[in-house]
Structure 1
Amino acid sequence: MSHPSHNSELHKKSISIHNFWEKVYTKLLRICKNTILQIHDWLFHSYQFSEFYTNELNLTIASRSENFIFKNDTWLVEVSNHFMSHRFDLLGSGWTKVYFGMKFRGLEEIHYSTANHPSPDVLGNWLKGLINRSNLAKSQSIWNLIEQPYTPIDWQIDFKSGYRWNEKTWFTNIQFGHKTGVDIKVPWELARMQHLPLLAKAYSFAQKQLNGFSDPEVYIKELQNQILDFIATNPPRWGVNWASTMDVSIRIINWLLAYDLFTAFGAKFDDSFSKIFFNSVYEHGNHISNHLEWHPKYRNNHYLSNIVGLLFVAAYLPSTKKTNSWLIFSTKELINEIKLQFHEDGSNFEASTCYHRLSSEFAIYATALILGLSAEKRQALRNNGSKFSRYSEKSKIMFHPLPNSNDESPFPDWYFDRLEKMVEFTQKITKPDGHIPQIGDNDSGRLVKLFPIYRKMEVKTAKENYLNLSTFSELQDQDNYWMEDFLDHSNMVSAFCGLFIHSDYDNFGVNDEEKLFIRALSRGTKVNITNSSSVIIKPGITDKSSSEDWQNCDLLLSRYSPSEIITNIHFDNSINSDSLDYFSYSDFGLFICKSKEFYLSIRCGSVGQRGNGGHAHNDQLSIELFVNGKNIIADPGSYLYSPLVNRRNEYRSVFSHFAPHIMSKEPSDLTKGIFSLNDPKAEVLYFGKKGFVGCHEGYGFKVYRRITITDFDIIISDYS
């Protein structure tokens, strides 16, 4: 008889060999499919024709427009005029007009120039040097639908550095990170076209002839022109804007919502435009379904965005066997990924407070859309469709009673609890000034920016306060500069309040428009979780908060007293330390002490992404401190990803964080990769009324930090 442990080892080896060959097979299959598809796209145009152009889209918001009214924000006239002029402010670019042959400010004095740029003409002859031969005729026919005069947007350009990708490059051959100072996220961000829903908002006020807005038809024309411009100059699978499935997904969601909103406010689109538009919606769905950013272990917000993008396409297009399979797959995968990518305490698994907001928006918008599906689409979900993808098991979607309701949904009770905890996490970690602490990466990513928060300042002030704008010259110094506030996440809470009956967040998520918008998306469905019988994990003091735990820390740290480093921060006014509330998010690795006058966040936990650390920084035991209306210590953020590796690592470095420093060492190796970080094994030893004690082993030995809070001081002691 074989020894049990021997059998176990053989079984593990068998699984390992099986997994290896499965990976080899999958990779070879993908290479073969892409090769065949690329040959096809060289010989024949890549635009696809579908049966959908003869049908209506399943418009959700338009069906409830009678209950949906926008507020005229003070910034809307000027910001929408920027968009109408093709002027965008993305990733720190400043408001920049994007066109062929434009001038570039450069990125930290790094400039690229395009020797020859086309001169657009009405007939589309200019496209001959731009579009590959197989797509040229189709591209020109689409361009000819654009209402002139119109200046095309250069969708392939990094309009900060001036580097330009090529429309004739097949999407899998697109390179990035190969040129210093070049940021591929700039054209990707532009091509998300998140400004289009705001044009619908402006259109609603133009109809009322409010001061500053253009004629309503101008906004309809601009929406049609920009979308046709993109479709004509970005044939499917060609150029930079098909290389990231995440950005393809976000783009099509914003297209659909913009179209829906315009229709809700009475816009009528040209039939020729609608035919091209509907076909492109289908093309986007096909591209997403065929190029999912899935990984057996390290999938993240990219894959979540793919699911939500495919869900929107499936929900808006008429029901067919294919679109129903997309609907079933994306609904099942949404539920699976929410469980995987959000901890039980509601925090996101990527160790970034800003990516928490992005992924939470994916979850809330997708949930609202599914709850608002038509009867036909809901019936499609109940059917056991054919297996669409190897990433999802072939199983029938189970419907569950909505909490405290007679209605049903495909979401189990734990799912709604998880969404509620996502929002509670954001609320609890928010500072008294309404901003969240910047833990980990922040690329300002959003799903939909229909209700952005802008702060007004003069251009001169912006140039003085922001280094990246010091050479900005697009606007005059006395002009208004509308700066988007990416650290105010209250709109995400407002979106949640549009979907859920939960009074705890009504005063925090104060944007009633966002609530109404989500309510329209869900066709009025609201989830009552106030008395849910499911288990909800409440944030609070950790299990390491007893007097005995504190005494044990005292005893432990007494051994290190000769090397103790003490920082004492004194407050002019009492913070009343007895009034502090304490919130523990140990799954994320974030601990909060706060009151109306005082805020302290402490970072101590996992690097996220199941150990990959792709969006984490060397910030273990670092703090953010806000006292009596002022930021005393704040995280600097991320700045850049791939354009300048040294700058990327500078912002990830321990020396950019208020954390324990050991000479010139880094607690995790920054050279491992710009989206990877070793886990320094951080551990909380005490968190409670007496303060905080934690440690990590990133330097090869344990370093400790103790934080004590009094009415007039915060005392930080480091030991190693």
Structure 2
Amino acid sequence: MLIKYLLEEIKLLGFTGTAFRIYYEFSLTSGLKKLKDNKIAIPKPDISFSKWKKNRKKIFLPDKKTAFNVLNTLLSEEEKKQIIKIANNALEGKILCFSKWQGNYGCPINWHYNPKKKVFWPKNVHWSKIMRYEKKCGDIKLTWEVNRFPHLYFIVRAYILTNYSKYVKAFKEQLLSWEKENPYPYGVNWYNGQELAIRMLAWIYALYMMADDPVFDQETFDRFLRLLYLHTIHIENNISYAYYAVHNNHLIGEALGLYISGLLFPYFLESKRWREKGKKILQSERCLRQFYEDGGYCQLSFNYQRLALHYYLWALRLAEVNQDIWERKENIMKIFDKSAKFLYSFMNSSNGQLPNWGANDGALLSPWISCDYADYRPIISFLSYITRKKRVFEKGPWDEELFWFFGKEAIESEIKPYKLSSRNFPITGLHVQRIKPDTFLLFRCGSVKDRFGQADQLHVDLWWKGINIAIDGGSYLYNDELQYHRYFVGTKSHNTVIVDNQDQMYLHRRFKWLYWTKAKLLSAFPLEGEHYGYRRLKGEVVHRRSINLLNENAFIIKDKLIVTEKIKHKYDLHWLLGDFHYYVDKLNNKVFLITLHTPKGNFYVKLECNINAEIIVNRARTDFFVPDGWQSRYYGEKIPALSVHVICCSKNGCEFTTLFTDKI
């Protein structure tokens, strides 16, 4: 069986991808990477801090005085206090992680610490060997988070609001500490090129906004340039992995790192090469083809699409203010326009949230907004303005990102919302049935085209009066507590039918699905589709689902499991519901009624099977092998949800009917 899976993996990778992967793994294990890194010598560019301040390359950021005036107008007193509070906590090593929970990394910060597992990654091991310690040290992303410097976006804004130089001093000290504790090329923080690029952007933001403070000095500027050089040369030396092996936002982020470093800091012999190489990759089909023609993205995740778009937004704005001509700018602008309409189609108008669809690793490239992490109004506003010079929403904290990129005139521009309506996105395989701005349904139905994403065919996400009733589980952790990773990425956390406790695809490695599911949309209105992921089972099971609107507050969903021969299978209709107080009423052996007590009143879920069935409701079950009843909106945090199962066994397939309604 292992040979069978290996051959399938090679088929999906292709000859070039497979050959490169073999070479890359050899270069890691043989020590070739280490030999190359040891030959790097850091040049000392001929540029003083004072000269740089007078002749610095243009960036899109506003001056400090304008930023002070706009932030005081745009943000409420409570929002400003929160920014300062988060910044002050960061001075003590208490970092807002993944825009949600606080991780204590110590004071001074320990850059190798995992605050959840309370363990340290070794800092004297070459980066190419560091993953040998993953089992002991836990999810690497929990250590990388502080090294992305998300707290700098709060420290800088606190500095602007208060004019206290203690924030500049804190940045100086953290930069000094980081260089001392992360000698190149050792430790966990040199392992991933995308992480280096994200860190560089935070440092550049702080440099440009703090450079005129008397506390900022030549020594700190020299340190910044040293680290910038090491980060960029390391990305350049290893970007081939992202180019040939992964085909996702890692490549876009690393290319941005090359471009921004070469463009803004032309003081190294390599600067021109970096700029041109980054620019070439960002305009290549390898990157642009990641975005689908219907507005979706190859990683099948709203969150990863936002991250990829943020990378391009940084790149294009820098190119614009420096008059650097991009031959394929119009192609990228079309991607922006399609992406804006795509994301907006799935937005809950009352809070800007989208369904928690696809992998969600907590990435928010520049957290310089006071909105919730799950609020997509900032990115939609930005995409709208860069493509048509119009805003989408009335003035609010979501305009802050627009201000950072475009200045004061952008947040005073004309408002013209996109149209909210039912839409089909057949390439991505997502469909939305929109009843009201805050009542709608997402339907996942479309053949898998890339190796990313989750085993979620025919999943339904239901929002009623702004409340997410039937939810998508999320991700939680990628690299620790792997039973939860398998749960969240697999079929068991999604609102669909599970056959024989199996996923719709085969999870070969932690992030690699084999035997990609084929699916077909049979009708766009009313919605109906089927998937063939379970055809590999005896009897060639096909799952067909139809969705009908009864009225503006009631949906009826019918599931039909079809077999070609009489083979007994276990069928599990699963609904992951929000964590509401609930009551279950068994009407008979085939019909069950769940009453949910929501903040907007009672909501009902009536479930029926055409043969005798049992109902099980799990909330926050912690079974080591099969967790159940969990959701994760923010990376590293899981909270309870209601996992409802209607289970039957049959040789002839079966049928389920689910009614979602506010009245019985």
TM-score range relative to shorter protein: 0.7 to 0.9
Distance 1:23 1:93, change over 3 A: closer
The answer to whether the aligner puts 1:324 opposite 2:277 as a matched pair is no
Aligned to 1:188: 144
Counterpart for residue 383 of structure 2? 496
Aligned with 1:518: secondary structure?
helix
Secondary structure of the residue that 2:244 maps to in structure 1?
coil
Match of 1:168 among 117, 121, 124: 124
Question: Per-residue deviation at 1:37?
Answer: 2.9
Counterpart of 2:224 in structure 1 is 277
State the shift of 1:496 in Å.
Answer: 2.6
Contact 2:58 2:321 in 1 (8 A): no
Secondary structure class of the residue paired with 2:432? strand
Where does 1:140-219 land on structure 2 (aligned, <5 Å)? 151-175=107-131, 178-179=134-135, 182-207=138-163, 216-219=164-167
2:99–2:373 contact (8 Å) kept in structure 1: no
* Corresponding residue of 2:591: none
Which amino acid in the other structure matches residue 113 of structure 2?
Answer: I
Tell which deviates more after alignment, 28-37 or 66-75. Answer: 28-37
Q: Partners of 1:260 and 1:696 in 2: how far apart?
A: 53
Per-residue Cα deviation, 1:351-408 (whole angstroms, up to 9, x for no partner): 11111111111111211111111x5xx3xxxxxxxxxxxxxxxxxxxx5xxxxxxxxx
Match of 2:91 among 79, 84, 88: 84
TM-aligned CA deviation for residue 486 of structure 1? 2.6
Question: d(CA) in 1 for partners of 2:108 and 2:16?
Answer: 51
Query: Alignment partner for residue 487 of structure 1, among 354, 374, 394?
Result: 374
- Could you say which residue in structure 1 is the equivalent of 2:556? 715
The amino acid across from 2:402 in the alignment is: K
Which residue of 429, 433, 442 corresponds with 2:346? 429
Question: 1:581 aligned to 2:431?
Answer: no
CA RMSD of aligned residues (A): 3.2
Question: 1:287–1:181: structure 2 CA closer, same or farther, 3 Å change rule?
Answer: closer
Following the alignment from structure 1 to structure 2, what is the Cα–Cα distance between the partners of residues 225 and 651? 39
Distance in 1 (alpha carbons) for counterparts of 2:62 and 2:534: 55
- 1:210 corresponds to which residue? none
Say if 1:436 and 1:489, in contact at 8 Å, map to a contact too.
yes
Change beyond 3 A, Cα 1:587–1:358: same
Give matches, 1:528-607, under 5 Å.
Answer: 581-594=421-434, 595-607=436-448
1:354–1:442: 8 Å Cα contact kept in structure 2? yes
Does the CA contact (< 8 Å) of 1:432 and 1:598 recur in 2? no
- The answer to whether the 8 A contact 1:432-1:599 is kept is no
1:513-542 deviation per Cα after TM superposition (whole angstroms, max 9, x unaligned) = 221211159x99x999x9xxxxxxxx99xx
1:652 corresponds to 2:489 = yes
Does 1:512 pair with 2:519? no
**Amino acid corresponding to residue 59 of structure 2 in structure 1:** T
CA distance in 2, matches of 1:335, 1:520: 26
**Alignment partner of 2:533 out of 683, 697, 701:** 697
Name whichever of 307-316 and 494-503 sits farther off.
Answer: 494-503
Q: TM-score, normalised by structure 1?
A: 0.67
Q: 1:357 aligns with which of 297, 306, 316?
A: 306
| Structure 2: segments with no counterpart, 5+ residues | 1-13, 562-664
**Equivalent residue number for residue 94 of structure 1:** 101
Tell me: higher relative CO, structure 1 or 2? Use CA pairs within 8 A at least 6 residues apart: 1
SS for the counterpart of 2:118 is: coil
Equivalence for 2:356: 438
Return closer, same or farther for 1:581/1:654 CA change in 2, 3 Å cut-off.
Answer: same
Aligned CA distance change for structure 1 residues 606 and 229 (closer, same or farther; 3 Å)? farther
* Per-residue deviation, 1:512: 2.8
| Corresponding residue SS for 1:670 | strand
CA distance in 2: counterparts of 1:189 and 1:704, whole angstroms: 41
What's the offset of the Cα at 1:287? 1.3
Partner Cα separation in structure 1 for residue 269 and residue 96 of structure 2: 41
Q: Deviations over 1:672-716 (max 9, x none)?
A: 43443541112111112x333333334523211111111052111
How far apart in 2 are the matches of 1:654 and 1:161? 28
The Cα of 1:221 is off from its aligned counterpart by 0.6
1:16-45 Cα distance to aligned partner (Å, 9 max, x none): 99998787777777867524235558xxxx
1:329–1:668 distance in 2 versus 1, CA, 3 Å: same
SS in 1 for 2:442: strand
Native 8 Å contact 2:519 2:529 kept in 1: no
Q: Does 1:416 align with 2:416?
A: no
Instruction: Please state if 1:342 is matched with 2:291.
Output: yes
Deviation at 1:275, TM superposition (A): 1.4
Cα deviation digits, residues 451-489 of structure 1 (max 9, x gap): 142xxxxxxxxxxxxxxxxxxxxxxxxxxxxxxx33211
Give secondary structure in 1 for the equivalent of 2:88: helix
Q: Aligned partners of 1:451 and 1:444: how far apart in 2?
A: 15
> Structure 2 vs 1, CA of residues 664 and 97 (structure 1 numbering), >3 Å: closer, same or farther?
closer
| Letter paired with 1:165 | W
CA shift in 2, pair 1:508/1:586, >3 Å: farther
Shift of 1:585: 1.4
Kindly state the Cα deviation for residue 302 of structure 1 after the two structures are TM-superposed: 1.0
Unaligned runs of 5+ in 1: 1-15, 100-150, 208-215, 379-398, 400-408, 454-484, 531-538, 541-579
- CA change 1:310–1:65 in 2 (3 A) is same
* Residue equivalent to 2:459: 622
Give the CA deviation at 1:670: 3.0
Looking at structure 1, the residues matched to 211 and 519 of structure 2 have their Cα atoms a distance apart, in angstroms, of 52
2:170 is matched with: 222
Q: Aligned ranges for residues 456-475 of structure 1 at < 5 Å?
A: none
Q: Which residue of 1 aligns with 2:590?
A: none
Q: Distance in 2 between matches of 1:703 and 1:602?
A: 14
For 1:26 and 1:659, the matched residues in 2 are separated by: 39
Say yes or no: does 1:296 pair with 2:230. Answer: no
TM-score when normalising by structure 2: 0.72
Change (3 A) 1:656 1:167: same
CA distance in structure 2 between the aligned counterparts of 1:224 and 1:498, rounded to whole angstroms: 35
**Aligned residues of 2:462 and 2:469 also touching (Cα < 8 A):** yes
Q: Give secondary structure in 1 for the equivalent of 2:289.
A: helix
Q: Where does residue 102 of structure 1 map in the other structure?
A: none
Kindly state the Cα deviation for residue 633 of structure 1 after the two structures are TM-superposed.
0.4
Assess, with a 3 A threshold, how the Cα gap between structure 1 residues 311 and 39 changes in structure 2: closer, same or farther: closer
Q: How does 1:630-649 map to 2 (within 5 A)?
A: 630-649=467-486
Partner of residue 673, structure 1: 510
Task: Decide whether the 8 Å contact of 1:53 with 1:276 is kept in 2.
Answer: no
More off after superposition, 216-225 vs 486-495: 486-495
**1: distance between equivalents of 2:171 and 2:205?**
12
Provide the rounded CA distance (Å) in 2 between the counterparts of 1:154 and 1:169. Answer: 16
Q: Against the structure 1 CA distance between its residues 18 and 78, is the aligned structure 2 distance closer, same or farther, given a 3 Å change threshold?
A: closer
In 1, the alpha carbon distance for the partners of 2:136 and 2:237 equals: 31
Contact 1:177–1:643 under 8 Å retained in 2? no
Indicate the SS of the match to 1:415: helix
| Partner secondary structure for residue 683 of structure 1 | strand
The number of residues matched between the two structures is 523
Equivalent position SS for 2:113: coil
Aligned pair in 2 of structure 1 residues 415, 646: CA closer, same or farther (>3 Å)? Answer: same
Alignment-mate amino acid for residue 628 of structure 1: K
Partners in 2 of 1:496 and 1:450 — Cα distance?
A: 16
CA-to-aligned-CA distance 1:81-104 (integer Å, 9 cap, x gap): 1112210132598323212xxxxx
Sequence identity (%): 21
Question: Whose strand fraction is larger, Structure 1's or Structure 2's?
Answer: 2
Quote the Cα distance in structure 2 between the aligned partners of 1:194 and 1:272: 23
Q: How far apart, CA to CA, are the structure 2 residues paired with 1:416 and 1:668?
A: 35
The residue identity in structure 2 corresponding to 1:361 is H
Query: For residues 545 and 496 of structure 2, what CA distance do their matches in structure 1 show?
Result: 9
The answer as to whether partners of 1:621 and 1:659 remain within 8 angstroms in 2 is yes
